[in-house]
Structure 1
Amino acid sequence: MKKYIPFICFILLLANSANAQGLLSQKEEVFNRQDTLRGSITKERSWWDLKYYHLDIKVNPADSTIIGSNTIRYKVLKSYNRMQIDLQEPMKISKVIQDGKELKFERDGSVFYITLVNPQVPDEIKEVIVYYEGKPKIAINPPWDGGITWSKDSNGNPFIASTCQGLGASIWWPNKDHMYDEVDDMLISVNVPNNLMDVSNGRLQSIIDKKDGTRTFTWYVSNPINNYGVNINIGDYVTFSEVYQGEKGNLDCDYFVLRDNLAKAKIHFAEVPKMLKAFEHWFGPYPFYEDSYKLVEAPYLGMEHQSSVTYGNGYQNGYLGKDRSGSGWGAKFDYIIVHESGHEWFANNITYKEIADMWIHESFTCYSENLFVEYYFGKKAGAEYVRGLRKNIQNKKQMIGKYGVNHEGSDLYEKGANMLHTLRQIVNDDEKWRGILRGLNSTFYHQTVTTKQIEDYLIQQTGLDLKPFFNQYLRDIRIPTFEYKFKDNILSYHWTNCVPGFAIPVKVTLNGKEQWLKPTEDWTNLYLITKDLKVEVDKNFYITTLKSIE
């Protein structure tokens, strides 16, 4: 019988025998037809390649309605006459036009099937114009449970914004609502009452005043953009700007804030060039110089809308004033400015093909927080920050979700950040690690990707067999345990509580002397000339440590 004394890097209590396979007993999630239609590349989606949108809408704060159209330009990949366009209830499509002809369509929940009349010839570029209207879902708890937020500022002016990650952009406008096919470029025209301003993605092209007391703001996005990254922000905004001297030259930075917050924003948003400097160092050039960088005040906490990052953190450091890491370093920066802007590299530049791989967005971006801390406060501070986040990890479900049903995984933020921090320790070369991060953003520049692509890239660039490593952290809920014992001058050690083949090296200090060990699942023996042994495992590894005594 062995007695175990825990040395705690992280304690994971195992609940039942199912944990031998890394799974806790849990209620199986049930998915329906609508989940499949939304989350899979259906026959009605796969035959055409999205090229361009012109979203042209009128937003009416008086009755919380949106009415307008979306012109969808696409390339025919193979001949077919049935097209899937997504638009969620209670919104509805009123008319669809192609080549001057009105087309028939039918609805199946959140999906509209459009029957095309004219031949769809491979390699041709075609357009459909989809007209729609309705009262979109009201956001309940944005950005997590999104929709449209219809609120007012302190002066009683409408303050309106969209949020739709996970829920889907089709909650407020008709589109091909699957992440695998990003539009190449996009025009966004938003008509609002003339005492208000709309801020959307890209660069402002025009402001046209109408005779009916409204004005239309038109924005052009010249880079590929994912659907949930498209946004509207409507309010009594005032603006100020600066130019950041970045790796690719001049980057226009524009800030849109409520009128009463202008003075404090001019002081607080000084964090933006600091963020840009740190992230260009770690990840490479800001990915959307052509479309500028904007930070836009919003009536909710914030979101990574491409080139139109939204902000609602109350002009304070931390996360609503709190340090999520408990390390003290999280109080040194504005979490929303840093985190949501970090998504410009991981979410907007590199975008998951489907939401099951959402860890690619959130793990790297959560990890970017401690890289920001490291850049300004040192490597020790950055490590303390990311380790402090471990208290928020639950380890109840896998990080990768179910494929084909619009389902995200769990523990995408803090666990993912600590997985990457652990990988950095294994690489054990800071400049090589930085090169890998920059290489990710250049190799997959403006692309949608899968988990396999990211895994394969990291395996290739590190030169390490990381398949068991990723299986452990992405596909298993257990935290690997470094178990050791010392008897008769022999240190014995191995990995347990792990997936087959898990064999990462680990840095330890033995009686004050630092060295690397290479555990496997089998016991390894190391002869030491000492009677007493103190073992300290580098706490930057996200593992559990157990000392066993015979």
Structure 2
Amino acid sequence: MNKKVLIIFCLFILVLKINAQNRNSYFKKVFTEADTLRGNLSKYRTCFDVTYYDLKVEFNIENKSIVGTNDIYFEVKHDLDTLQIDLFDNLNISKIEFDGQELKYFRKFNAVFVIFPRTLFQETRGVLTVNYDGIPKIAIRPPWDGGFVYSKDDFGTDWLAVSCEGIGASIWWPNKDHLSDEPDSMDIHLLVPQKFNAISNGNLVSAIQINSKQTDYHWHVSYPINNYNVTFNIGNYSHFEDTLKYKDGEVLKLDYYVLSNHVDTAKVHFQQVKPMLRIYDKYFGKYPFMKDGYALVETPYLGMEHQSCISYGNKFNIGYLGGRMPDSMYWDFIIIHESGHEYFGNSVSCKDHAEMWIHEAFTTYMEALYVENTLGYDKALEYLEYQTQYIKNLEPVIGPMNVNFGEWNSSDHYFKGSWILHTLRNTISQDSVFFDILRTFYDQHKCGFATTDDFVKLVNEKAKRDYTNFFEQYLYHPSIPKLQFRSKKNGNGIILTFRWSASTPKFDMPIKISKNEEFAIWLNPTTEWQDVELSDIEEDAIRFDSRLYLVDLQRVNDNFK
């Protein structure tokens, strides 16, 4: 490498570091070594790829403890003699085995470093068996605070479940706890007292009485699955089922598990599932996990998008526990939102928790598409306007990378992210192009991973315009762009002067203005002042449609620079 190339390369790296520092400067949290061990892809993680988990967990409900074994099937990607798995340090490891030999290991915070007696070479395949036990963390405020959830049903019978998105599945079972690695498939064995049912992901393979007191519920997942999506629901469940037939004749199995005294209510309330799935099919194709089926499972907490086993705790209400919904709308927020996650979150997954907007923003915009297809476009705009009250602009939508970041001070990665997509739709101003972008993004990454850069690249390609600065502003800075403008009379019209004020120096975005329903004109503002002459219009007649763009407006006087 010659000196000139070396200098350019070093400057490029410096710019990347400065951009990263500038972006992260909005976040005040001081990250620890434990955060890095959890969120970073060190060589002890990148050296192997998990291909399959075989998890067995026995539940002692009375003392809130578990005993478990996980067989971790893996392939070596780079020669290794040590690798990292994860298990919360309040859980005990009794032994770790490989090829029939007990291995040495050491623990640091919630990371477990497993030491092999010899080097494992690239492409080697093996099985690591971890035996463990203990009392998992109990969730204080599920699903936002992860852990086991212990409750009672209306008859005083024990009812328990788990939620661990964010905090991680290693809160209750050993795994490679990083979003970037999913097993290709998985088996889950839940050993529970005989009086209970145990519901998990995928298909029920068997329910076998193994002694006079316990039943082994064996579930199989046929697709890649996020670790945090692996779940259990234990209680006195009743089961009913239905099917959805797609236009090509393929049939999707629908399973519903609710407490025994809620069956009649659920049979009516869950009728909104099939129309919803047809709407999602229109935009993104069939339900992503056809072989495993779709399931709603009643839970003692509000809800979570557990793959093919959606946790439902909205108490058969409309909206969000009966609220957080425009008065004219009558659908169950948890069903519509969590089911949307089967597409974005479960099928298309981000690689780092900092980019959770890929899960949450896309799914939140799917809610608006659901409204658009059931109640019409104007109602969808009404629903989107309702979302704006939850947009705070306190910090960027995308968080710091490589630290398992999840401590946003707002829900902007949901609602602002949804509005970013809505703004993009109206900036492109061709629904055929916008929806082609969404569908292509989904198709390219289904049952896999996607990054923000993947989406930006696709938008630029499909829209035939560079939206890099658009996403830089909306995703990496807390403030939204402000359109500054002034006008002065010019004969029978006006001269309109305008520019964008934004944190991104080169920000540009077209925006449509109007004076009435019949007349509209596109402006192409940048961060430099521009003039445009408009005829047959009064100064106070200019309108910007706030239902279409997430921007601020500022009328300035002639002295404003």
- 8 Å Cα contact 1:22/1:477 also seen in 2: no
Corresponding residue number in structure 2 for 1:514: 520
- 8 Å Cα contact 1:143/1:164 also seen in 2: yes
3-state SS in 2 of match to 1:433:
helix
1:321 and 2:327 are equivalent in the alignment: no
1:238 and 2:246 are equivalent in the alignment: no
Could you tell me how far 1:203 is from its partner in structure 2? 0.6
3-state SS in 2 of match to 1:472:
helix
| Cα deviations by residue, 1:173-197 (Å, 9 ceiling, x for unpaired) | 0000001111110000001111111
Could you tell me how far 1:27 is from its partner in structure 2? 7.0
3-state SS in 2 of match to 1:270:
helix
Output the CA distance in 2 between the equivalents of 1:74 and 1:189: 20
Output the CA distance in 2 between the equivalents of 1:132 and 1:247: 47
3-state SS in 2 of match to 1:525:
strand
Change (3 A) 1:524 1:211: same
Change (3 A) 1:476 1:300: same
Corresponding residue number in structure 2 for 1:299: 300
| Cα deviations by residue, 1:148-181 (Å, 9 ceiling, x for unpaired) | 0011111111111110011010000000000111
Corresponding residue number in structure 1 for 2:432: 431
Corresponding residue number in structure 1 for 2:257: 256
Output the CA distance in 2 between the equivalents of 1:162 and 1:268: 24
Output the CA distance in 1 between the equivalents of 2:184 and 2:453: 24
Change (3 A) 1:26 1:39: closer
Q: Name which of 488, 500, 504 aligns with 1:499.
A: 504
Corresponding residue number in structure 1 for 2:551: 543
Q: How does 1:95-174 map to 2 (within 5 A)?
A: 95-174=95-174
Change (3 A) 1:224 1:23: closer
Corresponding residue number in structure 2 for 1:219: 219
- 8 Å Cα contact 2:473/2:502 also seen in 1: no
3-state SS in 1 of match to 2:291:
helix
Change (3 A) 1:476 1:91: same
Corresponding residue number in structure 1 for 2:197: 197
- 8 Å Cα contact 1:23/1:477 also seen in 2: no
Output the CA distance in 2 between the equivalents of 1:352 and 1:65: 32
- 8 Å Cα contact 1:247/1:285 also seen in 2: no
Q: Name which of 350, 372, 376 aligns with 1:378.
A: 376
Corresponding residue number in structure 2 for 1:419: 420
Output the CA distance in 2 between the equivalents of 1:25 and 1:110: 27
- 8 Å Cα contact 1:224/1:446 also seen in 2: yes
Output the CA distance in 1 between the equivalents of 2:364 and 2:438: 14
Return 5+ residue gaps in structure 2 as ranges: 1-20
Could you tell me how far 1:113 is from its partner in structure 2? 1.2
Could you tell me how far 1:247 is from its partner in structure 2? 5.6
Corresponding residue number in structure 2 for 1:529: 535
Output the CA distance in 2 between the equivalents of 1:22 and 1:33: 22
Corresponding residue number in structure 1 for 2:3: none
1:441 and 2:447 are equivalent in the alignment: no
Corresponding residue number in structure 2 for 1:87: 87
Could you tell me how far 1:211 is from its partner in structure 2? 1.7
Could you tell me how far 1:76 is from its partner in structure 2? 1.1
Output the CA distance in 1 between the equivalents of 2:322 and 2:65: 34
| Cα deviations by residue, 1:83-134 (Å, 9 ceiling, x for unpaired) | 2110013112111111111111111121111111254132121001100100
Amino acid in the other structure paired with 1:199:
I
Corresponding residue number in structure 1 for 2:274: 273
Amino acid in the other structure paired with 1:543:
V
- 8 Å Cα contact 2:26/2:396 also seen in 1: no
What is the RMSD of the two structures over their aligned residues, measured on CA atoms? Answer: 1.8
Change (3 A) 1:27 1:276: closer
Could you tell me how far 1:473 is from its partner in structure 2? 0.7
Percent identity over the alignment? 39
Could you tell me how far 1:318 is from its partner in structure 2? 0.4
Could you tell me how far 1:530 is from its partner in structure 2? 4.0
Corresponding residue number in structure 2 for 1:10: none
**TM-score normalized by structure 2?**
0.91
**TM-score normalized by structure 1?**
0.93
Output the CA distance in 1 between the equivalents of 2:272 and 2:534: 51
- 8 Å Cα contact 2:243/2:254 also seen in 1: yes
